[in-house]
Amino acid sequence: AQKVTQAQTEISVVEKEDVTLDCVYETRDTTYYLFWYKQPPSGELVFLIRRNSFDEQNEISGRYSWNFQKSTSSFNFTITASQVVDSAVYFCALSEPSNTGNQFYFGTGTSLTVIP
Amino acid sequence: DSGVTQTPKHLITATGQRVTLRCSPRSGDLSVYWYQQSLDQGLQFLIQYYNGEERAKGNILERFSAQQFPDLHSELNLSSLELGDSALYFCASSPSGGANTEAFFGQGTRLTVV
């Protein structure tokens, strides 16, 4: 079963519009960690944010904000006043504490295109 | 710039061949991860090392192997290459390799098998 689901495969918005990227996760652990990464056309994966399962406070960083809701197992990402430079593939990921090492479970990504 | 260096950036090779991908982690990071990104499979975890020891193993084929050296750089060896191995291979590093720490990714090595 997929641990992280990003149902939106592709989204297009016009510059300056707000856009929300959805992420739904599945875990049996009470402690876990959620991440968002950005993959611009150049190809590298850029870390955006980490959120701990015990901290449900929403976070804002400039035009970016994240809404973490344990009740719905969601960790959504909103870009306010989108810009062309926001065009990228965005990945949500989950990690679960383990005594046998660690891995990040990535969703399939949402490709965002911001049209000028 | 994440501080993680991967070489080479691009690699074109023939089926049946063997290649080695190299990764230098960020200064101070002890853990290295390898991921494969292909169009149909997405980002697939291959393997994790911590301070030279294998810590976690994912969907890594038997034809693939990896290691982390005493200087903490890591190599991913891919042998008997098939067309389906064509993908972007990422290395990532983190200080402790724990679940509570983000990993920083290199720019990837794009492997094309022809």
Give the pLDDT confidence of B48-79 residue by residue, as tens digits. 999 999 999 998 999 999 999 999 999 999 99
Is B89 within 8 Å of B113 (Cβ atoms)? Answer: no
Structure tokens at A17: 């519009």
Cβ-defined contact of B56 to A98 (cutoff 8 Å):
yes
Cβ-defined contact of A102 to B106 (cutoff 8 Å):
no
**Chain B neighbors of A107, CB-CB under 8 A:** 42
- Interfacial B residues in 8-67 facing A (CB < 8 Å): 31, 33, 42-43, 45, 48, 50, 54-58
Q: How far is C-alpha B41 from the chain's CA centre?
A: 16
The pair phi, psi for residue A85, each rounded to 5°, is: -70, -15
Searching chain B, which residue's CA lies closest to the CA of residue A36? Answer: B102
pLDDT in single tens digits along all 114 residues of chain B: 889 999 999 999 999 999 999 999 999 999 999 999 998 888 999 999 999 999 999 989 999 999 999 999 999 999 999 999 999 999 999 999 999 999 999 999 999 999
Q: Which tens digits make up the pLDDT trace of A10-36?
A: 999 999 999 999 999 999 999 999 999
CA–CA min distance A116, chain B (Å): 27
pLDDT for A1 equals: 65
Cβ-defined contact of A101 to B50 (cutoff 8 Å):
yes
**CA B88/CA B100 separation, integer angstroms:** 25
Asked if pLDDT for residue A101 goes beyond 70, the answer is: yes
The pair phi, psi for residue B83, each rounded to 5°, is: -55, -35
Q: Which tens digits make up the pLDDT trace of A35-72?
A: 999 999 999 999 999 999 998 888 899 999 999 999 99
Instruction: Pick A103's closest partner by Cβ from B58, B101, B107.
Output: B58
Instruction: Pick A33's closest partner by Cβ from B57, B100, B107.
Output: B100
CA angle B47, B48, B51 (to 5 degrees): 145
**Chain B neighbors of A97, CB-CB under 8 A:** 98-100
pLDDT for B40 equals: 80
